[in-house]
Amino acid sequence: MNQVCTYERTESEQFFNSIYKEYWYKVYHYSYLYTGIKSEAEDLAQEVFLKLWQQIDRLNGVENVKGYLFIMARNNCHNHYKKALRRKPLYKNYCRSFTEVCYHDEVVVKELNRITIKAVQELPAKQKKVFIYRDMGLGRKEIADILNVSVNTIDACINIAMKKVQQYVSRELELSTAA
């Protein structure tokens, strides 16, 4: 079914259903080959079809719907991989040097996490939002789109926030060791 997408608005649901029925398993299989995890592959396939449904009006006139769909699937898999690389919360990176020394002491690790969370809470609102979005795994471009600012602004906010959090954690650790 390699059809040119031409339809009226009333036919969009039928068109979507036919595409879904014909290609869902193929997109799932492609995603599974990429991830190797059935549940993630199912989620990725569903995301592709959700995006397809949300963009159904853009498809009018697309000559190769199958190609369009698999490019969406490929991009979705790549984005999934990029987000997976960023999934580890940022504050763990700030405390890594301390936790490597004290990894066996769960109390110390919990205290470091508590201090870091407190440091993030004390950031200015914009830096806090950027820091939290980044910690959730969003990319610079995604955060910039959400906040309606440039990617350079996001980079600056991330750098400033990281420095402030590092300084706060260091200051708190100095106070706690002096006490």
| pLDDT tens readout for residues 81-106 | 777 666 555 545 545 544 454 455 56
Q: How far apart are the first and last CA of the chain?
A: 73
pLDDT tens by residue, 143-173: 898 899 999 998 898 888 888 888 888 888 7
Domain 90-178 has CATH 1.20.140.160: yes
The Cα 157–Cα 144 span in angstroms is: 11
- List % helix, strand, coil for the chain (3-state, nearest 5): 80, 0, 20
Rg (CA), the chain: 22
CATH architecture of 9-85: Orthogonal Bundle (1.10)
Q: Which pLDDT tens digit goes with each residue over 28-72?
A: 888 887 777 888 889 999 999 998 888 888 777 777 888 888 888
123: left (phi over 0), alpha (psi -120 to 50) or beta: beta
The answer to whether 116 and 91 are in contact (CB under 8 A) is yes
User: What residue type is assigned to position 145 of the chain?
Assistant: D
